[in-house]
Amino acid sequence: MKITTHILFILFGLALSVPSAAQIGATSSQPTAQDKAQTSQAKAQEEAREDAQKSQKKAQKSQQKAQKKAQKKAQKAQKKAQKEQKKAQKQWKQQHPSAH
């Protein structure tokens, strides 16, 4: 009877360990709430980074556009000033023909 009791204890021990091993396997294959939270956080950080890059590119384009506009305006003003200067020189020469 000792051998039979011993075998029963071994079988009983195995019977208890199999469901717990199956449960461990089942929980490790399913994503935990922490895993989901980490994935969600990583996704949110990635989206925030992409949004920041888009905003930075947009701001850079806007700055370049404003700079081009300012350059064009400055060139236009310079041309106008040169034109006015030539006009003033022409008028001065007409008013002072003996000076040149």
pLDDT in tens, 15-61: 666 555 555 555 556 779 999 999 999 999 999 999 999 999 999 99
What is the per-residue pLDDT for 87? 94
What is the per-residue pLDDT for 38? 94
With contact defined as beta carbons under 8 Å apart, do 75 and 67 qualify? Answer: no
Residue 69 binned pLDDT confidence (cut-offs 50, 70, 90): very high
* CA distance linking residue 62 with residue 66, whole number of Å: 6
Sign of CA dihedral 41, 43, 45, 51: negative
Alpha helices by DSSP H, the chain = 2-29, 33-95
pTM of the model: 0.49
Please state, rounded to an integer, the average pLDDT across all residues of the chain: 84
* CA distance linking residue 21 with residue 67, whole number of Å: 68
